[in-house]
Chain A
Amino acid sequence: AQTVTQSQPEMSVQEAETVTLSCTYDTSESDYYLFWYKQPPSRQMILVIRQEAYKQQNATENRFSVNFQKAAKSFSLKISDSQLGDAAMYFCAYGDYKLSFGAGTTVTVRA
């Protein structure tokens, strides 16, 4: 059963602007990991960012940052200063040695 929900099938952003992708998950575990993966048209799955649930500090990787709300089981991804190369499908995933993936959000970047 799908335990990860990405409520936005598609998002569009102007180049250089900011876009936020939402993700919620369902778990009774206290220790787990969260990931955002990017899938460009090449089909390759690329890790964007990871977050350990036991860490309160939100992860950041260059222009990508997350807002992790453990009590709300929410894990959103913010892409700042959007670039044309950010256009892709983005998947949220949760778990540990096994991951559950959301259905994905397609991000288009307008020049």
Chain B
Amino acid sequence: NAGVTQTPKFQVLKTGQSMTLQCAQDMNHNSMYWYRQDPGMGLRLIYYSASEGTTDKGEVPNGYNVSRLNKREFSLRLESAAPSQTSVYFCASTPKNYYEQYFGPGTRLTVT
């Protein structure tokens, strides 16, 4: 039982490049989330998926897209990376009717 896994752990992009952050959970959780963490701002919700087949915007969705590929996987895509997207990205999941979020190890992304 690996919990929530994220790939890659580190990434450096040039402005304008695209990439997809991958997240998978093996706990049969219903809901999945993408956050970004910036110094002095805590975690801010980018997108979430309450259940397989649904996605909704969070607090800071601009510049991102998501795909809930199946119950296990929830990916985050940056179509044209910008320096403002330099951050640490966390994926999380929760089981149905239960609100504790289980987090992945994070991805540190730098856009130059």
State whether the Cβ of A97 lies closer than 8 Å to any Cβ in chain B.
Answer: yes
Across the interface, do B58 and A91 meet the contact criterion of CB distance under 8 Å?
Answer: no
Would you give the 0/1 interface string for A76-104, flagging 1 where the beta carbon is closer than 8 Å to chain B?
00000000000000010101111111111
* Stretch of B11-19, B63-71, B97-105 lying at the A interface: B97-105
Q: List residues of B (71-112) whose CB comes within 8 Å of A's CBs.
A: 88, 90, 92, 94, 99-103, 105-106, 108
Which residue of chain A has its CB nearest to the CB of B43?
A101
Q: Which residues of A contact B58 (CB under 8 A)?
A: 98
Interface contact A33-B99, CB-CB below 8 Å = yes
A62 proximal to B (CB < 8 A):
no
A66 in the interface, Cβ–Cβ < 8 Å? no
Q: Does B53 contact A (CB under 8 A)?
A: no
* B45 within 8 Å of A (CB atoms): yes
Given contacts A2-B41, A42-B105, A44-B106, 6 further A-B pairs with CB under 8 A are: A2-B42, A4-B42, A45-B92, A47-B100, A91-B42, A97-B94
